[in-house]
Structure 1
Amino acid sequence: MKKIEIADKELVEKINALPKDEMAVFVMADGRIRGALFHGTRFVNQMRAQHNLGILESLVLGQASLCAALMIPLMKGQEHLCWKYDVDGPAAGFSVEADSTGYVRGFLYNEHIPVDKPLENWDLKPFLGTGSMSVSRIHKEDSAPHISTVEVNSGNIAEDLAWYYKQSEQISTAFNTGIQFDRHGRIIGAGGMFLQVMPETGGKNNSGASKSSSSDAEADEQFLGRVEMAFKTAPSLGQWFSECGKIEDIVYGLFREFTPSIALRRDIRYDCPCSEETFANYIKMLPKQERDDILRKKEPLEIQCRNCGSVYTISVEKLQQ
Structure 2
Amino acid sequence: MNDYIARATAADNSIRAFAIRSTDLVEEARRIHHMSPVCTAALGRLLSAGAMMGSMMKGDGDLLTIQYRCDGPIGDMTVTADSAGNVKGYVADPQVDIPRKYKGKLDVGSAVGHGILSVSMDLGLRDPYSGQCEIQTGEIGDDLAYYFTMSEQTPSAVGLGVKVDTDCSVLQAGGFILQLMPFADEETVSALENRVAELEPVTAMLERGMGPEEILTHILGDMGLDIFETGDCRFHCDCSKERVSRALATLNKKDLDEIIADGESIEVRCWFCNKAYQFSIPELTAIEEYGSRQG
* Common topology (TM > 0.5): yes
* Post-superposition CA distance 1:54-90 (Å, at most 9, x none): 1111111111111111211333534222222123332
- Please state how far the C-alpha of 1:169 moved relative to its aligned partner: 1.1
SS in 1 for 2:26: helix
1:304 to 269, 281, 284: 269
**How far apart, in 2, do the equivalents of 1:239 and 1:283 lie?**
46
**How far apart, in 2, do the equivalents of 1:294 and 1:93 lie?**
27
Distance 1:160-1:288 versus aligned 2 partners, 3 A rule? closer
1:159 to 142, 158, 175: 142
1:71 paired residue number: 53
1:108 paired residue number: 91
Aligned length: 283
**How far apart, in 2, do the equivalents of 1:123 and 1:287 lie?**
41
Q: Which of 282-291 and 126-135 deviates more?
A: 282-291
Distance 1:76-1:246 versus aligned 2 partners, 3 A rule? closer
Identity of aligned residues (%): 28
2:113 paired residue number: 129
1:26 paired residue number: 8
1:171 paired residue number: 154
Distance 1:112-1:265 versus aligned 2 partners, 3 A rule? same
* Post-superposition CA distance 1:148-179 (Å, at most 9, x none): 22122323211111101111111111111111
Map of 1:231-270 to 2, 5 A cutoff?
Answer: 231-270=196-235
8 Å CA contact retained: 2:19, 2:213: no
SS in 2 for 1:171: coil
- Please state how far the C-alpha of 1:288 moved relative to its aligned partner: 4.2
Task: Give the aligned residue type for 1:26.
Answer: A
- Please state how far the C-alpha of 1:278 moved relative to its aligned partner: 1.4
Max Rg structure: 1
Task: Give the aligned residue type for 1:282.
Answer: A
SS in 1 for 2:55: helix
**How far apart, in 1, do the equivalents of 2:176 and 2:62 lie?**
21
Distance 1:54-1:295 versus aligned 2 partners, 3 A rule? same
TM norm structure 1:
0.80
1:47 paired residue number: 29
TM norm structure 2:
0.86
- Please state how far the C-alpha of 1:105 moved relative to its aligned partner: 1.7
1:188 to 168, 171, 182: 171
- Please state how far the C-alpha of 1:223 moved relative to its aligned partner: 2.3
8 Å CA contact retained: 1:93, 1:108: yes
**How far apart, in 2, do the equivalents of 1:318 and 1:61 lie?**
35
Structure 2 gap segments, 5+ residues each: 287-295
SS in 2 for 1:140: coil
Q: Which of 249-258 and 168-177 deviates more?
A: 249-258
- Please state how far the C-alpha of 1:254 moved relative to its aligned partner: 3.1
